[in-house]
A and B are shown apart, each in its own frame.
Chain A
Amino acid sequence: MTFIMSIMLPFIIILFLLLLVLGVVSYTHLENVFGIFIPYLALAIFLMGFLYRILSWAKSPVPFRITTVCGQEKSLDWIKANRLESPFTTLDVIKRLALEVLLFRSLFRNTNTELNEGPKLIHWSAKWLWLAGLTFHWSFFIILTRHLRFFTEPVPFAIQFIDKLDNLFEIGVPALYLTDALIVAAITHLFLRRVLVPKIRYVSLPADYFPLFLLFCIIGSGMFMRHIYKVDLIKVKELALSLISFRPALPEGIGVLFYVHLFFVCLLIAYFPFSKLMHLGGVFLSPTRNLANNNRSKRHINPWNYPVKVHTYEEYEDEFREKMKAAEIPVDKE
């Protein structure tokens, strides 16, 4: 697939959906569909799809420990083992996986290979992807947590605290959230690297650009309605609370931009189980990460093994003894 196709296809889809939701909410009275029906539908798709993906992964046997390690395996007592890089017990695995999930430790080791003038081949440490990735994921997580203020009544102290910490510098009114600024910077980096770096542009597909554009729309509409084109937050919270208490009631006149935001969020969570975004669950089920490297001390039997029908030499001799004797082949038993 060419670059133009890869980037234009998701762009056109997103643009079409944006115009669709803007048009429908502005010119018809289908707010119920976008405010109540689609959120429930998206959530149902997300839950079912997520469970399905995890359970289908859980059905794949992992017969042999294929841990990727970069440290000394536990061996004889006098050889110092690196339990974090080559985990031996479940606790070691939990520690390593926690660092992987929370800090993207393996991505931190990312290297880049470059052919410079000379010609000189250079391998060097490349941390930008790690930095942008980590910033993006943590910002996203904090933004999600912050949104709980619309779903909880009264708002728990912890949520208010996170909110307060996030607009610590009180830039403007309403204050600019630090995570908003960070996520825009991070996702711009993640997008530009796909477009500008030829090697990455070559391997980028519509499935890579689509979630990026979707996130741009979600972040953009969210920030736009906080800072520029306001919506009625009280009504937004009323809707959110009514949805999660399963007594949906749609307040009038929230503002069209809210429906754009909500629709793209619904699209994201409905798309989630069928896309590469499933690495949320997948990271915990990666056999190279979640297994203890104990092949040498513990026997792992392949669960695929079926009882093999064998024909032993004794049975073979019993079957052909007379013929063997006739051909003067020595036999074990007379």
Chain B
Amino acid sequence: MYDTGKIITGLIVFLCLITFPLWYDAFTGKAATKPEPKIITKEKQCVEATPYMRDSHMKLLIQWRDRVVREKMYSYKGSDGKNYTMSLTKTCLNCHSNKQQFCDQCHNYVGVTPTCWNCHIIPEEKS
């Protein structure tokens, strides 16, 4: 083998880079943590079914925003036939008033920073 020193150094650097998550997670020791969003409401049902809310709540929220802000529509008919007021503060946060224990759990887990709180005020949390 020729230029052994340089080539082995390069390979080691490459291996360190591509195995970054391995040693990062070994260092933080949090690979087994799972998000635990806490639901503190007595309501049985969200505006739509849970799987849909889990995947697509952001689409619903942005649809609500556009309807309210741009089209002056305020009422949303859920697939269960009930009418809801399209409002983050009045409807969503009514049940999910615990941002840290609910929203942030999953958002932080997958590294998402929603822009809701650029305009909306974060509800005060009872600790």
Contacts and interface: CB of A to CB of B under 8 A. Distances in A.
Interface in B5-39: 7, 10-11, 14-15, 20-22, 24-26, 28, 30-35
A153 B7 contact: no
Interface string B30-53: 111111000000000000000000
Interface string B101-114: 00000101111010
Given A58-B2, A170-B115, A232-B55, A245 B25 contact: yes
Residues of B contacting A: mostly: helix
A150 interface: yes
Nearest to B61: A173
29 contacts: A55-B7, A58-B7, A60-B2, A149-B111, A150-B110, A151-B25, A152-B25, A153-B25, A153-B28, A153-B31, A153-B33, A153-B109, A156-B24, A160-B111, A163-B111, A173-B61, A230-B55, A232-B55, A233-B106, A234-B35, A234-B106, A234-B109, A237-B110, A241-B25, A244-B22, A245-B25, A247-B32, A281-B14, A303-B2
Interface of B: 1-4, 7, 10-11, 14-15, 20-22, 24-26, 28, 30-35, 54-56, 58-59, 61-62, 106, 108-111, 113, 115
Given A148-B20, A151-B25, 14 more contacts: A60-B2, A61-B2, A149-B111, A150-B110, A154-B28, A160-B113, A173-B59, A173-B62, A230-B56, A231-B55, A233-B106, A234-B34, A244-B25, A244-B31
